[in-house]
C-alpha cells in the first residue's frame, strides 16, 4: 500500500496523518506524551462510569469484601 503524509493541523493530538492512495486516512502519528494523556482520559472516563454504575450498591466492610473475593 503506497502512502502519503498529510498535514495534521486540523486533528487534535495528531502530528501526522498517513493516507492510502485514495486519500483516506489509514494511520495517525502522535507523540508519546499525547498518547499517555489520551489513555489517561479514557481510563478516567471508564472509572467514572464504573463508579456511577455502583453508586446505589451497599458499601461492604473490609471483611465482607474479602469474604466475597474468597467465595469467587
Span 1-43, pLDDT tens digits: 555 555 556 777 888 889 999 988 899 999 999 999 999 999 9
Could you tell me the residue ranges of all domains in the chain? 1-30, 43-72
What confidence score (pLDDT) does residue 29 get? 92
**pTM, entire model:** 0.53
Q: Kindly give the pairing relationship between strand 14-19 and strand 4-6.
A: antiparallel
What confidence score (pLDDT) does residue 10 get? 74
Is residue 44 helix, strand or coil? Answer: helix
Amino acid at each position: 500500500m503506497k502512502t502519503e503524509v498529510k498535514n495534521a493541523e486540523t486533528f487534535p493530538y495528531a502530528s501526522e496523518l498517513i493516507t492510502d492512495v485514495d486519500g483516506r486516512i489509514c494511520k495517525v502519528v502522535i507523540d508519546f506524551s499525547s498518547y499517555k494523556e489520551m489513555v489517561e482520559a479514557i481510563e478516567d472516563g471508564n472509572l467514572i462510569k464504573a463508579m456511577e454504575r455502583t453508586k446505589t450498591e451497599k458499601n461492604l466492610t473490609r471483611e465482607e469484601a474479602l469474604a466475597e473475593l474468597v467465595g469467587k
